[in-house]
Structure 1
């Protein structure tokens, strides 16, 4: 027996022992509370415990007294809970051992929810005293009492029945105290609170929840939520509640009451025995959000809102488009998440410390006009301009960060492409040999990040592209050494044919293709490229060669890039034409071809036959890809009658009278035609027309081409347009033998062909044959400019420059002789 027990027995000596035979296990808690009136010196004690041995009675009385003290103390701590729950539980754990039979050997642990309170030396042993309970809101409460002094025979301490019942009573009291505190707390909150057990039955509903649910708590308690609200069964509400129970993770959902025009947010907090649902009316918040959404959705820029931690909380649909992510995938995603692939103008990744959002977070200042690139989830690239600004609270701290995004991909790409093509112009301006020029162009284009492969494929004008044409590219260049040179592709034939036929750039990308080019698209993607393009290098409607490009850019060959490539193709075509013309002028041997035609598809043949007149076409000048302007003299026919024929719907010709005569009737005209003359076809194919005369419906056209030109292909192209045409003669000659023109005249001709631009040549020729230089003038600058589709100021500008260049070069050469 412990010293404490002996001391108690000594204190009880001399007292009358109550009769023995009472079974201590029969003591009830009602008996304990009834003895609350008793004390150790009461006269009734002996009577109450009559029949028990004196020491047993004293121990029983002492045990009951300790129970009463423990319950009183627990009541003080948990009835009303003047202190916090944690403080009350911690106090009970500290004081609890004193109310057991052997306090110095007692250790205690109390668990409330996930919180654990225990004495310093608590270590679970065999035969502990335990009790568990759960509050109406699902908070688990448990108590474990152990004795560190074990009996030698069994190794376990024998507990008194009162001690066992004390643990159960204390857990019940603590549970009820915590439950009252929880419910009192829930009553004070402004939000509605409802508690459901695992069977989805209501166990608690506060007043605010009653109002939001439209039901009295007494009617709800014990009822299944889906019986009370069957319309909510099978909706997101049931899904979220079940998910919270299964995953034991909090979640939430929003519900709209159309009848009340009310929005409610439900936040679900799971427990082992059910869920606590906190309802908040968010109608005003939703109205404000709708107004904000309306503003965000009507703005043309992308808007992203982030919290103070840098996590995305909101984004408009434009931001979804620009960033390539849905709002759901962006929600709560940090701006510094590794998935974001952003880079500066040099293509280098932007480190976190240099990120504009980091800078705004650190400085609190607005940053505007940050230009950066971003790689989207689908692999495509985009250029953005970002404005980043903080939204601050009254105390100056950052509450949110707003980012405004603007897509500048098109102008940025345009800027990059212009920078890429500008050096090409420098190469073209100094070109002297076509092969060297083509090679330099391909090397320059692949020396940028715009194109990873470039090739100029040679072809014979007037013939359809062949596989051989597209494979035999000695000038092929690749930025990536793994790309074969040249790319051996049969799939390029079809788009090449279309490019030659239409004169338009043909492209294929990962996301865009012509159905005719499916094989080309597959071939392009298989080589690791994102897009391919075939650019016709043309001049005056004649395609000389084809520029083949491949790129790994995701956003490749858009409309503006195609426009730039079209311009580039025409510029290269013009230089190739000039190089060929220079070769013709300096060729040792030329071929003179004479054609005769009675084909009525030619406007001049048809008009001459109808009027029985003679028409001499003095010059044929390209005004556009389709329109050619002819300057002609008409003899033995009224110009008014000639005009009537030209204005016929079958021809839709644009005719202007320059000079007319009465005897014989006729005069000079300017007439615009769309591929309706034999001379136009020959000029398009690169021939130089020297004579073009039509008499009584029969045309004789004489032209010159360098010896070695594929004359058979040239004749075929002419006859495809005008079947009733025959090549009647071919004569070879050397330019020097043909003409005895004065050296100055030959010099002027050389300057005209090599020093003047195409447009300057056209303007000068139109002015000459249009009678602009005659006195009085037969045509005004405006009339000639209209025929060439130019403004009057542009015409005058080109004319002055042409005259200045022509005479400057002439005098310079004369001085050097």
Structure 2
């Protein structure tokens, strides 16, 4: 029974030791692999797993050879442990033959509690599980379910009823599988059966509760299964459908109501079942002579349909449509008002212009519906009409629509207080919302064009200013000052964000005093600064008073008089230097065209800061060297390597579309370990040998994710060493003095090998010639020129004799040979110019 808990491979391996003459006889991996007819590596892996599970012991004999043996007492101990486990499993564990009646070969003691019978009664055949215990009504269902599931994947799960020795009926859940190599006839099954009677009872109670809920639903409701058969009908549905639930249960809705197949109901129900998305429909159902509004909700078991009779509503709608047709050419709303603004009468056109019921408005005061900013002016206009009695033009004003929006009306008034048929002020209004909005849109476009023109000038001035500044603070201050010097922006600031603590620290501000003292900047996930920091993308609030994310700063917006805000990430080549906040008095600032230019501003400032840091690095005599170490990285991936083996990662060459070529070397005995590692890591796409000697193999590895070498270089670091030696990964990175060491440490730790910082030290900076060449290589070469040089170098193109031809390299880069040679020569020219001339020749 112990071997039953092992995989087939581990069971076969354990059998090799059991079949030995001496149970404790030690065997080598080679001997075991030969007997199993598997590779030595696969055999060794199985042996190590059996050692981990306690079935085998191992030790090293001499200096290198390792042997394994099975302790003589282990089998008995395991047998006892397994027996204890079986006895404590809730339910009945069994082994039986897959034939009629399921004759039992083994039954656990849980049989007594589950069935009331002793295990011996089933094992001897005195009691047949299939004939005496499985409920007669469920025997065929259980047999067919088990056979179909076994034919599918060798396993099965089934629920059914059993009869106990006390003649009680219980619900059980069974899961089992076929065991052995498939040669047994009939097949042997093993599995577990547990009592789920209580769960079934609870489910039934829940169903009754749900039924009660359905009965309390005001709408008519019925449920259908996946074959569109009725499974439930409430009283309201019985009344509308003119059928009882008893008449409908189990019947197809299409057979009971065949004319429905010609209506939208057919499409709606089929679409809901097919897409698993709710649908709805309205139809006039002629057989029952009423209008139906229905909402259809799909589930795993079928459809739930809620519907109601909307005949009266439809009749009212038709009357309204006929009435509205009489006024469809009119967009005017006329009213009779008392001098204080009380509405005596208003034309029905208010219904489709402002969506109000005229009768509801009669008696209300019109000034309650006028925008607060327009009320004073309109009161004055009404008063003038009362005093002067002539037709008087009334200024444009805003009136609240029933949906809460504001409509612009143009009105004139006439004093007919002395007319006995009117006795009021007649107001004639015309909806001019579209005209006002067009005028506002034209004004907004003019302002936006002016802002864009202004902003383009600002960006150019910032670009000129930051180039002239000599420190990072001066660069940031110049950017903010140039922004607020324009008419488009009120004030601006720049803040740094700590990548570890996500603390926001203000650095500079311009255009306002005290804002950063009064307001706490936050990098919370849902807030603009936090979003800009995490995504590296521009975040905009076109109206801070309508933006829920800006709610904490609305008081500040009132105090400092701004309506729009932009959080601009300051970045250069994936390095975030901070966030630039820009504020405008304009609603809707930073729209699409303006936003695209604003986004470039962060890159301009980021590039200037990066250039400043590069200058500082070149001028410094020292750099910071960071040493990282990760122990036993190969073990983490289940890969073993010989002692004193070595793998180097020399250079990662980007190919575009997140593909890279990694070049490096291994000692002759370590290449197998690198192959095994490549099998474990999905982004190690293709590993090939470039050159091979007796002592060293130079390899090429195609990657589909950025490697740690490329990630470090993208953030301003320089890899000195990257090796796996004796299973330990060691990485030495050089960064310019003054660079954020903690940010670089976090970047390295986030890689898949997760090394820890071992040491940090200041080291002498490399000579200026080297720096100049490195600058030309990183900044002046195009991506294609740099890639061509790197691939050619690591592929052995410059060696004699060449180990790779230009055609082979061009094929690996997916370009034509002529294109490869063009990029290669252009890159060589620039590098040689940097070496032999004072200024590199940039072509």
Higher radius of gyration, 1 or 2: 1
* TM-score tier after normalising by the smaller chain length: 0.3 to 0.5
Relative contact order: is structure 1 or structure 2 higher (C-alpha 8 Å, sep ≥ 6)? Answer: 1
- The alignment's TM-score, normalised by the length of structure 1, stands at 0.43
- The alignment's TM-score, normalised by the length of structure 2, stands at 0.42
